[in-house]
Amino acid sequence: MSTMDTYEPVPATLRAFLDRKVAEYNRPSFIADDPICVPHAYSQRQDIEIAGFFTAIFSWGNRTTIIRKSKELMQLMDNAPHQFILHHTDKELKTLLAFKHRTFNPTDLLYFIEFFRHHYSRYDSLEYAFLLPWQESANRGRPEKDYEPGAALTAFHHYFFSLEAIPPRTRKHIATPERNSSCKRLNMFLRWMVRKDNKGVDFGLWNRISPGQLICPLDLHVARVARRFGLLTRTPTDWLAALELTQSLALLDPEDPVKYDFALFGLGVMEKF
The 3-state secondary structure of 171-231 reads HHHCCCHHHCCCCHHHHHHHHHHHCCCCCCCCCCCCCCCCHHHCCCCCCHHHHHHHHHCCC
Q: What's the pLDDT at 135?
A: 77
What value does the mean pLDDT take over residues 151-156?
97
Q: How far apart are CA 242 and CA 269, in angstroms?
A: 18
Q: What's the pLDDT at 7?
A: 35
Q: What is the pLDDT of residues 42-59, one digit of tens each?
A: 999 999 999 999 999 999
Confidence of residue 12 (pLDDT cuts 50, 70, 90): confident
Q: What's the pLDDT at 143?
A: 59
| Cα-to-chain-centroid distance, residue 97 | 25
Domain ranges for the chain, please list them. Answer: 1-30+216-273, 31-211
Q: What is the pLDDT of residues 190-227, one digit of tens each?
A: 999 999 999 999 999 999 999 999 999 999 999 999 99
Question: Does the pLDDT value for residue 107 go beyond 90?
Answer: yes
Q: What's the pLDDT at 6?
A: 42
pTM summary value? 0.93
Q: How far apart are CA 238 and CA 224, in angstroms?
A: 13
Q: Judge whether 246 and 258 are in contact, CB under 8 Å.
A: yes
